[in-house]
Amino acid sequence: MLLLLPALALLGEPTGSYGSCEKITPEATHIQIIETEIVVEGKSSKVFEIIQPDGSPVFYKTEGMCFNVTLENATSVPSSLHWHGLLLPNPEDGVAYVTQPPILPGETYTYNFEVVQNGTFWMHSHFGLQEQKLMAAPLILLPAKKNLTGMSLPSLNPLLFNRSKKSG
């Protein structure tokens, strides 16, 4: 236990409070989890995908803002999404049967909390073997103070592997 204390000292202080985000009330960002097929070396496999209305494979939010995400389960199986590494209220953690009930097929679940940190994280499923079946995506929390003068964020699309969807 004492060995963990120096490591905990390296963590930055959160910039907000833990709990539901009441100060800003924009409409929720809608994301879906779907089932699809990919082909790898000539063999097809059923996998999952996390999709956004704009088609981006990377999900962005900003420190100090509301997370406010409605997740739609458009698959044929129960699921949920865990926000890996985020400092958040425990009921918003997204682990089925631990912090929330699973989201049943055709249902939605809204996560709403203040983003109190910045950095690169992941969203993924803890339900069954869904993560191993590609139910995961990058989650970028941008800093509240943009001190990236003269710089722009590169597109991460070329860095992500290209999923060959089975046609027809």
Residue 136 structural domain? 23-142
Q: Tokens 């009921």: give the residue.
A: 91
Q: What is the model's pTM?
A: 0.75
- The residues that bridge with 38 in the sheet, in sequence order, are 45, 165
In terms of Cβ atoms closer than 10 Å to its own Cβ (0-12, 13-18, 19+), residue 94 is buried
Residue 155 in any domain: the answer is no
Total domains in the fold of the chain: 1
71 token code pair: 């997740």
Rounded Cα distance, 92 and 148, in Å: 30
Q: Tokens 């202080």: give the residue.
A: 13
Q: What is the pLDDT of residues 63-116, one digit of tens each?
A: 988 899 999 999 999 999 999 999 999 989 999 999 999 999 999 999 999 999
Residue 9 in any domain: the answer is no
Residue 149 in any domain: the answer is no
The band of 21, judged by pLDDT with boundaries at 50, 70 and 90, is confident
Check which CATH number belongs to the domain holding 27 and give it: 2.60.40.420
